[in-house]
DNA sequence: CTGAAAGCGCTTACAG
DNA sequence: CTGAAAGCGCTTACAG
């Protein structure tokens, strides 16, 4: 019927009599007619929905505001473009990549997906617009579109900061549960490289694999062998270290400097306030979402690459190493 | 075609020859056939999707982990039941309630929706399963299904705690931007009632309307007229107060006790750790989601009511009032 | 200028 | 036991 033309403003090139249109509108109102979006989606083969795929299920928790910021950025950008946002956890992913390409999404934003490369390959092969939100150096395939952050730059800034303060023996802390996560190792690697470039030596950087709650701190500290600064691969790890240090009566930063990654406003709540490498997560997420929607609309297949610079938020948890 | 029977396990009462089935499966694999969920949704008139409607857009931010916990609970419960979660902001709501009932959702979870009662009425009238996640005392219509928290109980616990510590003059702080939010006033009202029931008098409770960042603290403190404790209607407000107090060299809790609502693990990060009334947000959200899905599946129309008890997390920010 | 018909990709009731 | 057909509610190309 031409009802659709009147009610949804479709078919601009199709005209309808004014009184016919009026009748249609009146009847529609009387019957409380509501267009069914599923039918429209089927017909038009688009859903105005983007999917968010995460690698880990317990996303929103942890001692960090990372995912809050991320969600804020994504929803803000998506809503303003008339797109809805649907959440997928990894269950949908690895177990059944088909469900991602079953027509429900116009595009996918892959958040810190690092495992399950196969499912990524599938998505790309299926011509489902896909954008990775990931560390730039983890994206190896140049045909992949991504928005990345500069872990290398962040690690360099942390290394330069500590080195210039005079530290000559530092520990890089990786959470036990995160060793499957390449990002922790990537940051450790970049940090070590940068340290060498600062003029330090290899044996001045020790890699420590600790429980997420940093319970290892107590045993480690008395045997720290001259280490004067700890770098945690994550913000939440650094916060745990601060708590343990306080419990052990270790003064930060007088006795020990502590630095984290992924600085959020949580770092202002800790005591002392945490020095940390920062990514503008919300801004990045908004940009990523805009890019993805642009990919959906345009048909050119040039992969999109974009790297956000990092910066170092110097707060209160770092200082010159203790004199002895 | 009977292809559907083979591939999706539909039509159990319909049999197909074993070799026919095999052929179908082989060809499907060759062609990388993927069932289209939109078509299926159209046909079956269900989408296995629940919508999350919020009242305010800047949801995930703020100095609180409230929405993170909420999202964790919702996604966990939804995914385990095979449901997807779609995010809606208020733009979809007030501006166009039709979009909520356009067939995309099997049910809606209304999170702290307090304004826009009209849109709620619409949803209920349209037979779209709807569950409110709200303060119990804010839900006036008994035919409305809701999962609520016990603001009244929380306010009582806070009042009893302060009164029994010996405080006899307290301020209840409401953030300026939240006076449109009935919940702040509800809590203030419950607190005052409970205070009276404890044996206190009306003039012992002062209502303070401050900026969200508690910048009013500095001017207020010197003229506090004997107030020895501040209760903030929200966790983030209480955290702001702690920060201002520290900036003004006011000792908490020695000089002044501070209490908040909606305790999350953030309260353990503040200095001193914040005493606060707690809601089990994640658990509540999971329960709400389960209930909603049950409502979708069953057809009985009895409204569901459920109130979670509150509890008081006594940490370090409250003590006896200062001697003078 | 307007109405009737085809088709999006499924599912299921029905005919053979 | 299996295949062909109708229909979910839209949109749009087509016929009148």
Instruction: Give me the CATH number covering residue B238.
Output: 3.40.50.2300
CB of B207 within 7 Å of some strand C atom? no
Q: Tens digit of pLDDT for each residue in B24-42?
A: 677 767 777 888 999 999 9
- In chain B, residues with a C-beta closer than 8 Å to the C-beta of A99 are 37
- What's residue B177's pLDDT? 75
Helix (H, G, I), strand (E, B) or coil at B278: strand
Q: Cβ contacts (< 8 Å) between B34 and chain A: which residues?
A: 98, 101-103
Q: Which residue is nearest to nucleotide C4 (CA to C1')?
A: A1
Residues 199-228 (A) near nucleic chain C, CB < 7 A:
none
pLDDT of residue A35: 85
Give mean pLDDT, residues B9-19.
50
pLDDT at A193: 97
- Is the CB of B16 less than 7 A from some atom of nucleic acid strand D? yes
Residues B68, B11 share a domain: no
What integer pLDDT is reported at residue A7 of this predicted model?
A: 57
pLDDT(B18) > 70: no
Same-domain status, B260 and B145: no
For chains A and B, CB pairs below 8 A equal 125
Closest partner CB to B103 (pick from A36, A59, A72):
A36
Interface test with B, best of A68, A91, A260, A272 (most B CBs within 10 A): A68
Does residue A19 lie within 7 Å of nucleic acid chain C, judged by its CB? no
Are B58 and B114 in a shared domain? Answer: yes
Residues B124 and B110 in one domain: yes
Edge-to-edge strands, sheet with A229-232: A205-210, A170-175, A229-232, A257-260, A275-278, A311-313
Which candidate from A47, A92, A102 shows the least CB-CB separation from B34? A102
Residue of A nearest to B47 (CA): A38
- Contacts of residues A261-264 at CB distance under 8 Å and 24 or more positions apart, as own/partner, are A261/A151, A261/A154, A261/A158, A261/A187, A261/A232, A261/A233, A261/A234, A261/A235, A262/A64, A262/A66, A262/A234, A262/A235, A263/A235, A263/A313, A264/A64, A264/A65, A264/A66, A264/A69, A264/A235
**A144 and A284, same domain (yes or no):** yes
Residue B88 φ then ψ, to 5°: -125, 140
What is the pLDDT, as a whole number, of residue A16?
A: 53
Residue in B42, B60, B88 closest to A38 by CB: B42
Residue B318 inside a domain? The answer is no
Indicate whether B127 belongs to any domain: yes
Nucleotide closest to residue B11 (CA–C1'): C12
Residue A78 vs residues A45, A74, A86, A187, B82: alpha-carbon distances, Å:
19, 6, 11, 30, 24
- CB proximity B15–strand C (7 Å threshold): no
Chain A positions in Cβ-Cβ contact with residue B76 (cut-off 8 Å): 57
Substitution target in A7, A37, A64, A102 with the highest count of B β-carbons within 10 Å is A37
Residue B321 falls inside a structural domain:
no
Longest dimension (CA), chain B: 93
Residue-wise pLDDT tens for chain A (324 aa)? 455 555 554 444 445 556 666 666 777 677 778 889 999 999 999 999 999 988 665 556 565 678 888 888 999 999 889 899 998 865 554 456 667 888 999 999 998 776 556 667 777 777 789 999 988 877 777 888 999 999 999 999 999 999 999 999 999 999 887 666 778 888 999 999 999 999 999 999 999 999 989 999 999 999 999 999 999 999 989 999 999 999 999 999 999 999 999 888 788 888 899 999 998 889 999 999 999 999 999 877 788 899 999 999 999 999 999 986
In a domain, B23, yes or no: yes
Whether A314 is in a domain gets the answer no
Q: Where are the alpha helices (DSSP H) in chain B?
A: 3-8, 18-30, 37-44, 66-80, 92-95, 117-125, 151-165, 182-198, 217-220, 235-247, 281-297
Q: Indicate the average pLDDT of chain B.
A: 85
Minimum CA–C1' distance nucleotide for A1: C3
My answer on whether B176 and B139 are in the same domain is no
Chain A partners within 8 Å of B59 (Cβ)? 71-72, 75
Looking at residue A26, its pLDDT comes to 73
Q: Are A125 and A103 in contact (CB under 8 A)?
A: no
Question: What order of strands is seen across the sheet that includes strand B146-149?
Answer: A305-308, A146-149, A130-135, A107-111, A49-54, A84-88, B84-88, B49-54, B107-111, B130-135, B146-149, B305-308
Residue B224 DSSP one-character state = -
Q: Which of A241-250, B171-180, B266-275 bottoms out in mean pLDDT, i.e. has the lowest? A: B171-180
pLDDT value of residue A33: 82
Model confidence at B8, in pLDDT bands (50, 70, 90)? low
Residues A170 and A265 in one domain: yes
Q: Has residue A59 been placed in a domain?
A: yes
Inter-chain residue contact A98 with B34, CB threshold 8 Å: yes
Decide: CB of B20 under 7 A of nucleic strand C. Answer: no
pLDDT of residue B97: 67
Contact A102 B239 (CB under 8 A): no
Averaged pLDDT, B61-81: 83
Residue A17 covered by a domain: yes
Domain that holds residue A13: 3-35
Where would I find the H helices in chain A?
Answer: 3-8, 18-30, 37-44, 66-80, 92-95, 117-125, 151-165, 182-198, 217-220, 235-247, 281-297
User: What pLDDT does residue B175 have?
Assistant: 87
A19 plus A108 within the same structural domain: no
Q: What is the pLDDT of residue A21?
A: 65
C-beta atoms of A42 and B38 within 8 A? yes
- pLDDT surpassing 90 at residue B48: yes
- Domain identity same for A180 and A214: yes
pLDDT at A6: 52
A48 CB-to-strand D distance under 7 Å: no
What mean pLDDT do residues B121-144 have? 81
Residues A225 and A300 in one domain: no
In a domain, A168, yes or no: yes
Q: Do A249 and A156 reside in the same domain of the chain?
A: yes
- Average pLDDT on B277-289 reads 93
- Residue of A96 and B75 predicted with greater confidence: B75
Q: How far apart are CA B284 and CA B133, in angstroms?
A: 9
Interface with chain A: mutation pick from B51, B73, B269, B272, highest number of A CBs within 10 Å: B269
Which position has the higher pLDDT, B118 or A304? Answer: A304
Residue A16 CB closer than 7 angstroms to strand D?
no
A158, A224: one domain: yes
Residue B113 pLDDT > 80: no
pLDDT in tens, B235-262: 989 999 999 999 999 999 999 999 999 8
Q: How many domains does chain A have?
A: 3
Whole-prediction pTM: 0.87
Which of B49, B239, B269 faces A270 most closely, judged by CB atoms?
Answer: B269
Contact present, A71 and B60 (Cβ < 8 Å): yes
């Amino acid at each position: 019927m031409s009802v659709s033309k009147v009610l949804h403003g479709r078919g601009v090139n199709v005209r309808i009599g004014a009184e016919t249109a009026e009748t249609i509108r009146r009847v529609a109102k009387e019957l409380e007619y509501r267009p069914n979006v599923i039918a429209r989606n089927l017909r038009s083969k688009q859903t105005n929905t983007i999917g968010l795929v995460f690698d880990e299920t317990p996303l929103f928790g942890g001692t960090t505001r990372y995912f809050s910021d991320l969600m804020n950025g994504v929803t803000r950008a998506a809503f303003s473009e008339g797109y809805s946002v649907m959440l997928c956890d990894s269950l949908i992913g690895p177990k059944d990549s088909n469900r991602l390409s079953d027509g429900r999404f116009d595009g996918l934003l892959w958040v810190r997906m690092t495992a399950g490369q196969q499912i990524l390959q599938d998505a790309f092969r299926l011509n489902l617009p896909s954008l990775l939100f990931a560390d730039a150096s983890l994206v190896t395939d140049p045909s992949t579109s991504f928005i990345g952050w500069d872990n290398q730059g962040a690690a360099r800034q942390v290394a330069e900061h500590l080195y210039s303060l005079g530290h000559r023996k530092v520990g890089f802390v990786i959470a036990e549960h995160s060793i499957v996560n390449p990002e922790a190792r990537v940051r450790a690697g970049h940090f070590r490289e940068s340290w060498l470039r600062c003029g330090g030596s290899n044996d001045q950087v020790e890699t420590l694999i600790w429980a997420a709650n940093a319970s290892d701190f107590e045993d480690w500290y008395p045997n720290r062998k001259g280490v004067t600064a700890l770098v945690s691969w994550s913000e939440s790890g650094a916060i745990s270290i601060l708590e343990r240090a306080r419990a052990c009566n270790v003064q930060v930063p007088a006795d020990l400097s502590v630095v984290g990654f992924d600085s959020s406003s949580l770092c202002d709540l800790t005591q002392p306030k945490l020095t940390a490498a920062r990514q503008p997560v919300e801004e990045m997420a908004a940009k990523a979402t805009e890019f993805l929607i642009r990919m959906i609309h345009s048909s050119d297949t040039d992969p999109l690459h974009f790297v956000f610079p990092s910066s170092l938020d110097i707060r209160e948890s770092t200082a010159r190493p203790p004199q002895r």
